[in-house]
Amino acid sequence: MRAAAACACLFLPAPYILLPTVYIGGTSMRIYRIIVVPALLIALSALAMSKLSAADDEHQSDRAAITKILETQQNNWNQGNVDAFLEGYWHSPDLTFSGSGGIARGWDGVLARYKKNYPDRATMGQLDFSGLEFRFLGNDAALVLGHWHLARSQGDVGGVFSLVWQRFPEGWRIIHDHTSTVDKPK
């Protein structure tokens, strides 16, 4: 009985979070909240931050892969190569593009839309993507928001886009593109 009393732990209800009271030789030595609660909060915060950091690290290579595709698309566009620009898109009849002209469906439909709206190098201008924001929707899907800008002799134009990406065996591809023109404030 004496041994049991010497090692007995009494757990207190929340918000004490299982703070033990240890009895040694009939006297109590209480571990005070001033020490234990902050220590627990620091430990839990460190654990949460390490999990967030691990999630960021987990998608760091995916973010880099998608960014590289967007940079390649930008370079291909700026060389006047619409066909190469579309290599970043899913080559499927299920690909979709939404814009002010409606919805284009399928790889061929999206290619035709680009070629109709940008028939020559002058209308294509110089493309610049900026302000990329990534939201991963699991291990094999992502949403990327950003801004686009075309510098052209006939007048600059720009706007925003949201791209839905999916990971395929051959890598990340855009499965849906919603691009809008945003007028400059006057």
Omega before residue 20 within 30° of 0, cis: no
Determine the residue type at 148.
Answer: W
- The confidence score (pLDDT) of residue 6 equals 40
> Measured between alpha carbons, how far is 122 from 153 in angstroms, rounded to an integer?
7
Domains, the chain: 2-31 (no CATH), 58-181 (3.10.450.50)
- The confidence score (pLDDT) of residue 59 equals 85
> Measured between alpha carbons, how far is 49 from 58 in angstroms, rounded to an integer?
14
Residues ≥6 apart with Cβ < 8 Å to 163: 143, 144, 145, 146, 174, 176, 177, 178
**pLDDT per residue over 26-45, tens digit each?**
544 454 445 555 555 566 56
pLDDT mean over 76-97:
97
- The confidence score (pLDDT) of residue 121 equals 93
**pLDDT per residue over 136-180, tens digit each?**
999 999 999 999 999 999 999 999 999 999 999 999 999 999 999
Token pair recorded at residue 1 = 């009985």
Residue 166 φ/ψ, nearest 5 degrees:
-135, 140
